[in-house]
Structure 1
Amino acid sequence: MKRKIVGIRDVAQQAAVSIATVSRALNNPGSVRPEVRSRIDAAAEALGYIPDAAARALSSRRTRTIGAVIPTVDNAMFARGIEALQRHLSLQGYLLLLATSGYDPEVEYRQAQNMVSRGIDGLILRGDVHTEALRRLLATQRIPFINVGVYHPDRPYPSVGADNEMAAYRACRHLLDLGHRQIGMVAALSAHNDRASARVLGVRRALAEHGLELPARWLLEVPYHLDDARQAARALLALPEHPTALVCGNDVIAYGVLLEAERSGIRVPDDLSVMGFDDLEWSRHLRPSLTTMHLPTDEVWTRAGDYLMRTLGGQPAAMHHEVDASLVVRESTAPPRSPRRRAKAPGG
């Protein structure tokens, strides 16, 4: 059965507007009054009109496609951010093209190459650990990009995110203010992950201000998985002298620590305070609920989309934007017990 071809002229006639008005509504929805845009949308839907992306790309030299390369989809924060970004781009008539890198800069470069070959207009990258080849590619192809999840106003590359070092510093300060002096950390893998390494630096800085250190035996790096976090917590809690408080690289790692503490008979927060990072949905429902650093994920990703759309539209856009990471105090942190009353660590 031959498919009926519906063109822009048919939509204009159905909506009782000019062809130029339909074109503006499709290519730049914000330039058309909402009531007119609604009428055009209704006409297009009734007729089954679908814009020819290839023809639009040839005429405007734009595909209205934004690419994003993230480390993994197996992370609730990334999933939430991508959902917010896609929803925001869709309202402006943009398509999101997604790929993963597995925290490997070379894989990220190859994925970006694939996206460029498919005509993306702009690119969103996670963090600021990229190959020089990728930076050259984007520069020579004149493709605007932005780093999300970091705030680096001293660098020439656009960024939107929290100051991860300062956020971790504030998390550790909360534990110090409670009276903890034996503080350890279960961090995320720092290789090719500038957010994770910055958080370790923040904890070290807070401890140093109190004349304390982060001993090597109390710092473990793990992937963002529950099993790995539990194994790390098991190793730390089995030490003859274990920390009274742990800062975790993110909430998922903190969940693993909480589970292992329960299994080991260590009470949170009586025997061990646990600090998370991200403020995932489950964090406030746990018992004990998780003290954590809240990051406005939706805002970070939508601002990244705004930056690219404004840049592509020739509008001014701030290169760097910092979002606030706020401390959310819940049940998993409390002042340390006195040494005489503290339960003996397993294996101690």
Structure 2
Amino acid sequence: MKPVIKKSRTRNREGARGVGIREVATRAGVSTATVSRSLNNPNSVSAELRARIAATIDEVGYIPDASARALTVRRTRTIGAIVPTVDNAMFAQGLQSLQRYLASRDHLLLLATNEYDLDVELKQARNLVSRGIDGLILRGDEHHAELRKLLTDQCIPFVNVGVYEPHKPYASIGTDNAAAGRSVTRHLTGLGHRRIAMVAAMQRNNDRAQARLRGVKEALEEAGLSMRPDWTLQVNYRLDEARAAARALFGLKDRPTAVVCGNDVIAYGVLLEAAKLGLPVPESVSVVGFDDLEWSRHLHPALTTIHMPTDEIWQRAGEYLVHTLSGMPAIRHHELDFSLVVRESTAPAPGDGA
């Protein structure tokens, strides 16, 4: 009768049984220290031995204890990110790109939201730091003063995404949002539009939205125009609020012939309301957006918008932190190019548009 060999098991904090590092070492014919070195410092063991240990880990289903590993290498291989919301499709797209890159580098993404509230963001950052993040990705450069002090005191590198501000000491990766606002507005003035309105995103604690609005205003001024208060509205990134803003604009006796929208979601709401009111786009009114979300090219009419390199921005943010944490050279400020994508939602101003 063959002897029964019992597998060694360890208990996790909840008391559940799991495969321990001793079983991996026994089956691979090495010491537990060798298994640990193979996991935490792969280059310290031969490729053949590393492959044997990896095969054994797969066979027995061993999952390394992250907290124990962090004590050994003083790193958790966890990157935190705080975004305003996950309702915005652009954030979801960027986070997916970031997650893909971090996974390829054996890093974990830990996510929190702040709803554009700097106090909430500070609290969330403290929570992430308490959970051992190695680095942090923040949206924009408007943050609580205590947040930067916290990260500096804890020696946690961070990077601001969505903005490019080389004159500041904090790492930034993004586009020139003011230049993008000027570009899309110049497109409209070049088509002969003189009555141009804007449905902007809420400006509070949103430096990207502020920069876009500033760029639109600058382009209007260089064309000899001004931004009329009754033609400048702010809304959240919601279809219903965008539709309400469009209804207000299109209900005016001297309604605009073109509308610049703070992002594509706002533009979708403006397009929907124009269709409901019987205002053909672009024959009666031209509409432009920002971000170039996937739906924008499939709409009828397809949306003219500013293409933002969202995937690349977030991936490069991940690269910056991973390289910095590894002691590799990393560019502190990186500007990525936007592009104007002209589609069907813009056309020359109507006869009375000048």
The DSSP-based 3-state class of the residue aligned with 2:290 is coil
- TM-score w.r.t. structure 2 length? 0.89
| Aligned partner letter, 1:90 | A
For residue 145 of structure 2, what is the aligned residue in structure 1? 132
Q: Which residue of 1 aligns with 2:75?
A: 62
Which of 7, 10, 14 is 2:24 aligned to? 10
Task: Give 1:269's aligned residue.
Answer: 282
Structure 1 counterpart of 2:195: 182
Q: Deviations over 1:261-308 (max 9, x none)?
A: 001110100000000101111111110010111111111111001111
Is the CA contact 2:163–2:177 (under 8 Å) kept in the aligned structure 1?
yes
1:206-221 map, 5 Å = 206-221=219-234
Q: Does 1:246 align with 2:249?
A: no
SS in 2 for 1:277: strand
Distance 1:263 1:34, change over 3 A: farther
In 2, the alpha carbon distance for the partners of 1:144 and 1:272 equals: 46
Query: Aligned to 2:64, what secondary structure does the other structure show?
Result: coil
| TM superposition shift of 1:20 | 7.8
In the TM superposition, 1:97-176 aligns within 5 A as: 97-176=110-189
Q: Alignment partner of 1:220: what SS?
A: strand
Q: Give the total of aligned pairs.
A: 340
Q: 5+ residue gaps in structure 1? A: 343-348
CA shift in 2, pair 1:331/1:6, >3 Å: same
Specify the alignment match of 2:92 in structure 1: 79
Name the larger-Rg structure: 2
Distance in 2, Cα, partners of 1:104 & 1:64: 27
Tell me, yes or no, if structure 1 residue 260 matches structure 2 residue 260: no
The answer for the alignment partner of 1:346 in structure 2 is none
The CA distance in 2 between the partners of 1:61 and 1:264, in whole Å, is 61
Change (3 A) 1:27 1:242: farther
Question: Gaps spanning 5+ residues in structure 2: where?
Answer: 1-6, 10-16
CA distance in 1, matches of 2:283, 2:46: 60
- Are the aligned partners of 1:290 and 1:330 in contact in 2 as well (CA < 8 Å)? yes
Deviations 1:157-193 (A, max 9, x none): 0011111001111111111111111111000000100
CA RMSD between the two structures: 2.5
Distance in 2, Cα, partners of 1:155 & 1:143: 18
The amino acid across from 1:324 in the alignment is D
- In 2, distance between residues paired with 1:56 and 1:189? 43
TM superposition shift of 1:120? 0.8
Distance in 1, matches of 2:245 and 2:327, equals 49
CA–CA separation in structure 2 for the residues paired with 1:38 and 1:331: 55
Residue 311 of structure 1: CA displacement? 0.7
Letter in 2 for 1:115: L
Question: Is 1:299 the counterpart of 2:276 in the alignment?
Answer: no
- TM-score, normalised relative to structure 1: 0.91
SS at 2:19 equivalent:
coil
- Aligned partner letter, 1:137: L
Q: Which amino acid aligns with 1:189?
A: M
C-alpha contact 2:288 2:305 (8 A) present in aligned 1: yes
The answer as to whether partners of 2:18 and 2:62 remain within 8 angstroms in 1 is no
